[in-house]
Structure 1
Amino acid sequence: MWQPISTAPFDQDLKLAVLDRDGVHALVFPCRRILTGWTKSATKERLHISPTHWRIWEPDNTDV
């Protein structure tokens, strides 16, 4: 179940959803919340996104 982005935990792999002009899309890689935004879990690369929802990352779950 998707949760509001304001409730996203730190230090945990998460699946993020973003909203753009084409609708809602789930990112296909795990992300982590940091004090200043978001990173890719595997590489620690900073992401410049504004997600709207989150849920626990489950590698085999690719639906929105």
Structure 2
Amino acid sequence: MREIKAEGGDRAQRFAMWQTILNAPFFHSLELAVLDDDGMHALVFPCRRAVDGWKDATTGYLVDVEPTHWRLWGEQDEDA
């Protein structure tokens, strides 16, 4: 599993809740992790997987992202 901007602690345990994007459920509010120029980080707004791509869970607008991992929106890291 890839690291998602963690500070200290056992990283494997800290991010155990993150799942590979391949098994992301449809039509649920999710927190997504993406890879950009600064590395891996989580988006600050909930998204939903839809048949036509990823949508902002609040507005319903399509979002141009290629996430690598997901977890249910509102889940927190154990040490956070």
TM category (shorter chain) comes to 0.7 to 0.9
* Residue 52 of structure 2: aligned partner: 36
Runs of 4+ residues over 2 Å off in structure 1: none
Deviations, residues 8-53 of structure 1 (Å, cap 9, x unaligned): 0011100000011211010011100001210000100100110000
Bigger proportion of residues as strand:
1
Q: Percent identity?
A: 54
Please give the secondary structure, in 2, of the residue aligned with 1:6: helix
Please tell me the root mean square deviation across aligned C-alpha atoms, in Å: 1.5
* Residue 42 of structure 2: aligned partner: 26
* Residue 21 of structure 2: aligned partner: 5
Which structure 1 residue ranges, 5 or more long, are not aligned? none
* TM-score, length-scaled by structure 2: 0.71
Q: Give the number of aligned pairs.
A: 61
User: Which structure has the greater CA radius of gyration?
Assistant: 2
* Residue 52 of structure 1: aligned partner: 68
* TM-score, length-scaled by structure 1: 0.87
Bigger proportion of residues as helix:
2
